[in-house]
Amino acid sequence: MSGAVQLWCAVVRVLPQHTSRVYGAAVAPTLLLASNRGPASFTDGTDGDPVVRPGGGGLVSALSGVNGTSDALWVCAALTDADRRGVRRHPRRLPVEAPTAVRMLDVDPVVFDRAYNDVANSTLWFVSHLLYATPSEPVFDALSRRAWEDYRSYDAAFADALAEEAAPGATVLVQDYHLSLTPRQLRARRDDVRIGHFTHTPWAPPEYFCLLPDGMAREVLLGLLGADAVGFLSRRWADAFVDCCVAVLGAQRVDGGVRCEGRTTRVDVHPLGVDAAELRARAARADVRDRVAALRELAGDRQVVLRVDRTELSKNIVRGLLAYRELLVTRPEWHRRVVHVALAYPSRHDLPAYREYTGAVQRVAREINSEFGTEGWQPVVLEVRDDYARSLASFVVADVLLVNPLRDGMNLVAKEGPVLSERGLSLVLSREAGAADELADDAFVVNPFDVSATAEALHEALRQPPDERRARTDRLADAATRLPPSSWLAAQRAALAHPSH
- For residue 117, what is the DSSP state? I
Whether the CB-CB separation of 258 and 203 falls below 8 Å is answered with no
At residue 301, φ and ψ (nearest 5 deg) are -95, 15
**For its own copies, which is the closer residue by CB, 210 or 298?**
210
Least distance between its own copies and beta carbon 133 (Å): 3
d(CA 167, CA 496): 16
Least distance between its own copies and beta carbon 363 (Å): 12
**For its own copies, which is the closer residue by CB, 239 or 386?**
239
Least distance between its own copies and beta carbon 152 (Å): 16
Least distance between its own copies and beta carbon 375 (Å): 28
DSSP element (H, E) containing 12: helix 3-13
Least distance between its own copies and beta carbon 42 (Å): 34
Instruction: For strands 400-403 and 303-310, give the pairing.
Output: parallel
d(CA 175, CA 177): 7
**For its own copies, which is the closer residue by CB, 135 or 376?**
135
d(CA 410, CA 238): 13
**For its own copies, which is the closer residue by CB, 134 or 374?**
134
Instruction: For strands 263-269 and 257-260, give the pairing.
Output: antiparallel
d(CA 26, CA 177): 31
- HEC string of 224-292 equals HHCCCEEEECCHHHHHHHHHHHHHHHCCEEECCEEEECCEEEEEEECCCCCCHHHHHHHHCCHHHHHHH
Q: How far is residue 155 from each of residues 97, 123, 178, measured CA to CA in Å?
A: 26, 15, 8
Least distance between its own copies and beta carbon 47 (Å): 44
Cα angle, residue 123 at apex, residues 187 and 402 outer, rounded to 5°: 110
Least distance between its own copies and beta carbon 49 (Å): 42
Least distance between its own copies and beta carbon 409 (Å): 15
**Cβ neighbours of residue 270 under 8 Å, at least 6 residues apart?**
198, 231, 232, 233, 483, 488, 491, 492
DSSP of 157-193: HHHHHHHHHPPTT-EEEEESGGGSSHHHHHHHH-TTS
Least distance between its own copies and beta carbon 403 (Å): 17
Whether the CB-CB separation of 396 and 292 falls below 8 Å is answered with yes
Least distance between its own copies and beta carbon 321 (Å): 11
196: helix, coil or strand?
strand
Sign (positive or negative) of CA dihedral 498, 484, 66, 43: positive
**Cβ neighbours of residue 181 under 8 Å, at least 6 residues apart?**
151, 152, 155, 156, 159, 219, 220, 223
**For its own copies, which is the closer residue by CB, 36 or 314?**
314
**For its own copies, which is the closer residue by CB, 14 or 443?**
443
**For its own copies, which is the closer residue by CB, 41 or 144?**
144
Least distance between its own copies and beta carbon 261 (Å): 22
DSSP element (H, E) containing 341: strand 338-345
**For its own copies, which is the closer residue by CB, 55 or 206?**
206
**For its own copies, which is the closer residue by CB, 123 or 394?**
123
**For its own copies, which is the closer residue by CB, 304 or 313?**
313
Interface contacts to its own copies, rule CB under 8 A: 130-136, 138-142, 144-145, 205-208, 210-214, 240, 313-314, 316, 318-319, 322, 326, 329-330, 353, 357, 360, 406, 447, 449-453
Residue 488: closest CA among 175, 217, 272: 272
Q: How many other β-carbons are positioned within 10 Å of the β-carbon of residue 110?
A: 9
Q: On the CB side of 404, how many CA atoms lie within 13 Å of its CA?
A: 30
**For its own copies, which is the closer residue by CB, 76 or 323?**
323
**For its own copies, which is the closer residue by CB, 172 or 380?**
380
Least distance between its own copies and beta carbon 365 (Å): 16
